[in-house]
Protein backbone atom coordinates (compact mmCIF):
# COMPACT_ATOMS: atom_id res chain seq x y z
CA UNK A 1 0.00 0.00 0.00
CA UNK A 2 1.40 3.41 -0.99
CA UNK A 3 2.42 6.03 1.56
CA UNK A 4 3.28 3.61 4.38
CA UNK A 5 6.68 3.96 6.04
CA UNK A 6 7.42 0.24 6.11
CA UNK A 7 10.01 -1.50 8.26
CA UNK A 8 12.91 -3.03 6.31
CA UNK A 9 11.84 -6.46 4.99
CA UNK A 10 13.14 -9.50 6.91
CA UNK A 11 13.37 -12.90 5.25
CA UNK A 12 14.27 -14.98 8.30
CA UNK A 13 12.16 -15.45 11.42
CA UNK A 14 13.54 -12.68 13.60
CA UNK A 15 14.47 -12.84 17.24
CA UNK A 16 13.72 -9.17 17.65
CA UNK A 17 11.87 -7.47 14.81
CA UNK A 18 8.41 -8.12 13.45
CA UNK A 19 8.40 -9.80 10.08
CA UNK A 20 5.79 -9.36 7.36
CA UNK A 21 7.30 -12.39 5.64
CA UNK A 22 7.08 -14.66 8.72
CA UNK A 23 3.52 -13.60 9.49
CA UNK A 24 2.27 -13.99 5.92
CA UNK A 25 4.02 -17.37 5.51
CA UNK A 26 2.50 -18.62 8.79
CA UNK A 27 -1.08 -17.65 7.93
CA UNK A 28 -3.33 -19.89 5.86
CA UNK A 29 -3.16 -19.09 2.12
CA UNK A 30 -6.85 -18.15 2.20
CA UNK A 31 -6.46 -15.95 5.29
CA UNK A 32 -8.39 -12.68 5.32
CA UNK A 33 -5.07 -10.91 5.97
CA UNK A 34 -3.00 -12.30 3.07
CA UNK A 35 -1.55 -9.44 1.00
CA UNK A 36 -3.03 -6.85 3.38
CA UNK A 37 -0.54 -7.05 6.24
CA UNK A 38 1.95 -4.19 6.68
CA UNK A 39 4.71 -3.79 9.28
CA UNK A 40 5.54 -0.11 9.82
CA UNK A 41 8.78 1.08 11.30
CA UNK A 42 7.35 4.00 13.25
CA UNK A 43 3.90 5.56 13.29
CA UNK A 44 1.99 7.89 15.61
CA UNK A 45 -0.78 5.34 16.15
CA UNK A 46 -1.68 2.28 14.07
CA UNK A 47 -5.36 2.98 14.84
CA UNK A 48 -5.14 6.58 13.60
CA UNK A 49 -3.25 5.56 10.46
CA UNK A 50 -5.65 2.72 9.70
CA UNK A 51 -8.70 4.98 10.11
CA UNK A 52 -7.17 7.29 7.47
CA UNK A 53 -6.61 4.32 5.14
CA UNK A 54 -10.15 3.06 5.80
CA UNK A 55 -11.59 6.45 4.81
CA UNK A 56 -9.58 6.16 1.56
CA UNK A 57 -11.17 2.77 0.82
CA UNK A 58 -8.65 0.25 2.23
CA UNK A 59 -10.11 -3.27 2.11
CA UNK A 60 -11.46 -5.26 5.00
CA UNK A 61 -8.69 -7.32 6.59
CA UNK A 62 -6.02 -4.61 6.23
CA UNK A 63 -3.63 -4.99 9.15
CA UNK A 64 -1.03 -2.55 10.40
CA UNK A 65 1.67 -3.54 12.86
CA UNK A 66 4.35 -1.15 14.11
CA UNK A 67 7.77 -1.49 15.66
CA UNK A 68 7.06 1.72 17.59
CA UNK A 69 4.19 4.14 18.14
CA UNK A 70 5.00 7.75 18.98
CA UNK A 71 1.41 8.60 19.92
CA UNK A 72 -0.18 5.29 20.90
CA UNK A 73 -3.72 5.89 22.14
CA UNK A 74 -5.81 4.17 24.79
CA UNK A 75 -9.41 4.49 25.90
CA UNK A 76 -10.62 7.66 27.66
CA UNK A 77 -8.04 9.73 25.72
CA UNK A 78 -5.23 8.06 27.64
CA UNK A 79 -1.79 7.48 26.19
CA UNK A 80 -0.62 3.96 25.41
CA UNK A 81 3.18 3.87 25.80
CA UNK A 82 4.59 1.95 22.84
CA UNK A 83 8.38 1.84 23.07
CA UNK A 84 10.35 0.54 20.09
CA UNK A 85 10.67 -3.22 19.90
CA UNK A 86 9.13 -3.86 23.33
CA UNK A 87 5.55 -4.69 22.44
CA UNK A 88 3.13 -5.80 19.75
CA UNK A 89 1.10 -2.87 18.46
CA UNK A 90 -1.46 -3.78 15.81
CA UNK A 91 -4.68 -2.58 14.24
CA UNK A 92 -7.16 -4.47 12.08
CA UNK A 93 -9.71 -2.99 9.70
CA UNK A 94 -13.11 -4.69 9.43
CA UNK A 95 -16.26 -3.71 7.58
CA UNK A 96 -18.83 -5.84 9.43
CA UNK A 97 -22.44 -5.97 8.29
CA UNK A 98 -23.78 -6.86 11.76
CA UNK A 99 -26.32 -4.63 13.55
CA UNK A 100 -24.99 -1.79 15.72
CA UNK A 101 -26.13 -3.63 18.87
CA UNK A 102 -23.70 -6.44 17.98
CA UNK A 103 -20.91 -4.04 16.99
CA UNK A 104 -21.09 -2.55 20.49
CA UNK A 105 -19.96 -5.91 21.86
CA UNK A 106 -16.83 -6.13 19.67
CA UNK A 107 -14.54 -4.76 22.41
CA UNK A 108 -15.52 -7.63 24.71
CA UNK A 109 -15.18 -10.19 21.88
CA UNK A 110 -11.70 -8.78 21.19
CA UNK A 111 -10.76 -9.23 24.85
CA UNK A 112 -11.53 -12.95 24.51
CA UNK A 113 -9.57 -13.15 21.23
CA UNK A 114 -6.57 -11.32 22.75
CA UNK A 115 -6.49 -13.77 25.68
CA UNK A 116 -6.58 -16.72 23.29
CA UNK A 117 -3.86 -15.23 21.08
CA UNK A 118 -1.47 -14.47 23.95
CA UNK A 119 -2.08 -17.83 25.62
CA UNK A 120 -1.51 -19.76 22.41
CA UNK A 121 1.78 -17.90 21.82
CA UNK A 122 3.34 -18.38 25.24
CA UNK A 123 0.99 -20.08 27.70
CA UNK A 124 0.60 -17.05 30.00
CA UNK A 125 -2.64 -17.48 32.04
CA UNK A 126 -4.18 -14.11 31.16
CA UNK A 127 -7.47 -12.80 32.54
CA UNK A 128 -9.87 -10.00 31.63
CA UNK A 129 -10.44 -6.95 33.80
CA UNK A 130 -13.80 -5.59 32.66
CA UNK A 131 -14.18 -4.24 30.08
CA UNK A 132 -11.10 -4.31 27.90
CA UNK A 133 -7.92 -4.79 29.92
CA UNK A 134 -6.00 -8.05 29.71
CA UNK A 135 -4.15 -8.70 32.94
CA UNK A 136 -1.44 -11.10 34.07
CA UNK A 137 -0.78 -11.60 37.78
CA UNK A 138 -3.26 -8.78 38.42
CA UNK A 139 -1.39 -6.20 36.33
CA UNK A 140 -2.22 -4.82 32.90
CA UNK A 141 -0.48 -6.67 30.09
CA UNK A 142 -2.54 -5.64 27.09
CA UNK A 143 -5.00 -2.91 26.10
CA UNK A 144 -7.72 -2.83 23.45
CA UNK A 145 -9.10 0.18 21.59
CA UNK A 146 -12.00 -0.46 19.20
CA UNK A 147 -13.06 2.54 17.12
CA UNK A 148 -16.08 2.71 14.86
CA UNK A 149 -16.84 6.22 13.59
CA UNK A 150 -20.64 6.56 13.29
CA UNK A 151 -21.76 8.23 10.04
CA UNK A 152 -23.53 11.62 10.39
CA UNK A 153 -26.50 10.21 8.49
CA UNK A 154 -26.87 7.61 11.26
CA UNK A 155 -26.93 3.85 10.92
CA UNK A 156 -24.07 1.41 10.91
CA UNK A 157 -20.43 2.61 10.82
CA UNK A 158 -18.63 2.14 7.48
CA UNK A 159 -15.76 0.40 9.23
CA UNK A 160 -14.40 -0.73 12.56
CA UNK A 161 -10.74 -0.53 13.63
CA UNK A 162 -9.64 -2.97 16.32
CA UNK A 163 -6.40 -1.94 18.05
CA UNK A 164 -4.44 -4.19 20.41
CA UNK A 165 -1.24 -3.41 22.30
CA UNK A 166 0.65 -6.11 24.24
CA UNK A 167 3.61 -5.48 26.56
CA UNK A 168 6.33 -8.03 25.85
CA UNK A 169 9.81 -6.92 26.77
CA UNK A 170 9.44 -3.93 29.11
CA UNK A 171 11.40 -3.98 32.37
CA UNK A 172 10.03 -2.85 35.77
CA UNK A 173 12.12 0.34 35.36
CA UNK A 174 10.31 1.19 32.11
CA UNK A 175 6.94 1.06 33.87
CA UNK A 176 8.33 3.04 36.83
CA UNK A 177 9.41 5.80 34.41
CA UNK A 178 5.93 5.77 32.83
CA UNK A 179 4.28 6.17 36.24
CA UNK A 180 2.76 2.68 35.92
CA UNK A 181 4.69 1.00 38.74
CA UNK A 182 2.59 -1.83 40.18
CA UNK A 183 -0.11 -1.30 37.55
CA UNK A 184 1.40 -2.67 34.32
CA UNK A 185 3.49 -5.70 33.50
CA UNK A 186 5.11 -7.40 30.50
CA UNK A 187 5.48 -11.03 29.46
CA UNK A 188 9.24 -10.77 30.17
CA UNK A 189 8.69 -9.51 33.72
CA UNK A 190 6.39 -12.46 34.44
CA UNK A 191 8.91 -14.94 33.03
CA UNK A 192 7.36 -15.65 29.62
CA UNK A 193 9.93 -15.29 26.88
CA UNK A 194 8.52 -15.31 23.38
CA UNK A 195 9.12 -13.57 20.05
CA UNK A 196 7.00 -10.61 19.12
CA UNK A 197 6.19 -12.25 15.78
CA UNK A 198 4.89 -15.29 17.67
CA UNK A 199 2.54 -13.18 19.80
CA UNK A 200 1.47 -11.20 16.73
CA UNK A 201 0.70 -14.45 14.91
CA UNK A 202 -1.33 -15.76 17.88
CA UNK A 203 -3.34 -12.53 17.86
CA UNK A 204 -3.92 -12.63 14.09
CA UNK A 205 -5.16 -16.21 14.24
CA UNK A 206 -7.49 -15.40 17.14
CA UNK A 207 -8.80 -12.28 15.36
CA UNK A 208 -9.47 -14.20 12.18
CA UNK A 209 -11.43 -16.76 14.19
CA UNK A 210 -13.31 -13.96 15.94
CA UNK A 211 -14.39 -12.52 12.61
CA UNK A 212 -15.57 -15.94 11.40
CA UNK A 213 -17.58 -16.37 14.62
CA UNK A 214 -18.99 -12.82 14.82
CA UNK A 215 -21.80 -12.34 15.73
CA UNK A 216 -23.28 -15.88 15.61
CA UNK A 217 -21.14 -17.48 18.35
CA UNK A 218 -22.01 -14.84 20.93
CA UNK A 219 -22.89 -17.39 23.63
CA UNK A 220 -19.48 -19.07 23.41
CA UNK A 221 -17.64 -15.73 23.65
CA UNK A 222 -19.89 -14.58 26.49
CA UNK A 223 -19.20 -17.77 28.47
CA UNK A 224 -15.47 -17.49 27.93
CA UNK A 225 -15.54 -13.79 28.84
CA UNK A 226 -17.34 -14.62 32.12
CA UNK A 227 -14.89 -17.43 32.88
CA UNK A 228 -11.87 -15.22 32.28
CA UNK A 229 -13.21 -12.09 34.02
CA UNK A 230 -11.26 -11.43 37.23
CA UNK A 231 -13.46 -8.45 38.16
CA UNK A 232 -16.41 -10.54 39.37
CA UNK A 233 -16.77 -10.59 43.14
CA UNK A 234 -14.29 -7.72 43.53
CA UNK A 235 -14.92 -4.31 45.14
CA UNK A 236 -14.66 -1.59 42.52
CA UNK A 237 -15.22 2.10 42.00
CA UNK A 238 -17.01 3.25 38.86
CA UNK A 239 -18.53 6.30 37.21
CA UNK A 240 -22.28 6.70 36.67
CA UNK A 241 -23.68 9.94 35.25
CA UNK A 242 -20.46 11.70 36.17
CA UNK A 243 -20.55 10.53 39.82
CA UNK A 244 -18.13 8.08 41.40
CA UNK A 245 -19.72 5.07 43.14
CA UNK A 246 -18.25 2.08 44.86
CA UNK A 247 -19.71 -1.39 44.81
CA UNK A 248 -19.19 -5.10 44.24
CA UNK A 249 -19.07 -6.53 40.71
CA UNK A 250 -21.76 -9.20 40.41
CA UNK A 251 -22.09 -10.50 36.88
CA UNK A 252 -21.54 -10.00 33.15
CA UNK A 253 -24.89 -9.53 31.46
CA UNK A 254 -25.81 -10.90 28.03
CA UNK A 255 -24.69 -7.67 26.32
CA UNK A 256 -21.35 -7.78 28.24
CA UNK A 257 -22.46 -4.93 30.56
CA UNK A 258 -21.39 -5.32 34.20
CA UNK A 259 -23.98 -5.43 36.94
CA UNK A 260 -22.93 -4.30 40.40
CA UNK A 261 -24.32 -4.00 43.88
CA UNK A 262 -23.57 -0.42 44.92
CA UNK A 263 -22.31 0.59 48.34
CA UNK A 264 -25.66 2.48 48.50
CA UNK A 265 -27.43 -0.92 48.43
CA UNK A 266 -28.83 -0.29 44.93
CA UNK A 267 -28.18 -2.35 41.80
CA UNK A 268 -26.12 -0.59 39.10
CA UNK A 269 -25.29 -1.44 35.52
CA UNK A 270 -22.19 -0.19 33.71
CA UNK A 271 -21.86 -0.71 29.97
CA UNK A 272 -18.82 1.40 29.13
CA UNK A 273 -15.98 3.25 30.77
CA UNK A 274 -13.30 2.14 33.16
CA UNK A 275 -13.44 0.61 36.61
CA UNK A 276 -10.93 0.69 39.41
CA UNK A 277 -10.40 -2.33 41.61
CA UNK A 278 -10.30 -1.26 45.26
Q: Does 252 bind ligand BTN (CB under 6 A)?
A: no
Q: How far is Cα 152 from Cα 247, in angstroms, rounded to an integer?
A: 37
Question: Of 146-205, which residues contact ligand BTN (CB under 6 A)?
Answer: 163-165
Which backbone phi and psi does 96 adopt, to 5 degrees? -70, 150
Sheet holding 160-167, edge to edge: 37-40, 63-66, 87-94, 160-167, 139-147, 133-136, 127-129
The mark string for 76-115 relative to ligand BTN (x by CB under 6 A, - otherwise) is --x-x--------xxx------------------------
Q: Which of 19, 53, 72, 275 binds ligand BTN (CB under 6 A)?
A: 72
Nearer to ligand BTN, 61 or 72 (CB): 72
User: What residues contact residue 226 under an 8 Å CB cut-off, 6+ apart?
Assistant: 232, 251, 252
- In angstroms, what is the minimal distance from the CB of 154 to ligand BTN? 27
Q: Enter the DSSP assignment of 76.
A: G
C-beta of 80: minimal distance to ligand BTN in Å? 4
Residue 153 to residue 53: CA distance in whole angstroms? 21
Using CB under 6 A as the criterion, what x/- string covers residues 109-148 for binding ligand BTN?
----------------------------------xxx---
Binding of ligand BTN by 276 (CB under 6 A): no
Beta strands 37-40; 258-262: pairing state: unpaired
Residues of this chain that bind ligand BTN (CB under 6 A): 45-47, 69, 72-75, 78, 80, 89-91, 143-145, 163-165
Amino acid sequence: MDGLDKAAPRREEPSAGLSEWFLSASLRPESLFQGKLHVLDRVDSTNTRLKQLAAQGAPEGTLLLAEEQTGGRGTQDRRFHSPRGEGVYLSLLLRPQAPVSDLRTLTAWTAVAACRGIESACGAPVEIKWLNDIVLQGKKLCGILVEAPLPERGGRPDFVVIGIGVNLAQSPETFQQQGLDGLATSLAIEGYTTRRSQVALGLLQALERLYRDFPQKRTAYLEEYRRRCMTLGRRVSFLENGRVFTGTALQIENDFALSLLGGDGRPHRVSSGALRLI
